[in-house]
Amino acid sequence: MLLITCPVTRTDELVSDRRIRSVTNHPTHIALAVECPCGQVHVYRTGRRWEDAVAQRAAGAPVRAAEVGVAA
């Protein structure tokens, strides 16, 4: 599961992994193109270091991805 903030509605949306349309590996992060419940595809970035920090705070919680704001 992935917790995203929709840039259109400005609401938090919990989306299934299968809504991830593409994953692009970058040296500093991974870009995820996610099909949002609002009907658009948004691009978010995530990374191991960031995910580790999240995991330390709340094991098992959904990953919150940071919005990249660019088209993949």
**Residue from the set 3, 6, 33, 41 that interacts with Zn ion by CB under 5 A:** 6
What angle is formed at CA 18 by the lines to CA 72 and CA 38, rounded to 5 degrees? 65
33 vs 24: CA distance, rounded Å: 8
CB of 59 to Zn ion, least distance (A): 28
The burial class, CB within 10 Å (0-12 / 13-18 / 19+), for 44 is buried
What residues from 8 to 27 belong to the interface with Zn ion (CB under 5 A)? 8
Q: Tell me, residue by residue from 24 to 53, as one string, x for binding to Zn ion by CB under 5 A and - for no binding.
A: ------------x-x-x-------------
36, amino acid identity: C
Q: Count residues contacting Zn ion (CB under 5 A)?
A: 5
Residues that bind Zn ion (CB under 5 A): 6, 8, 36, 38, 40
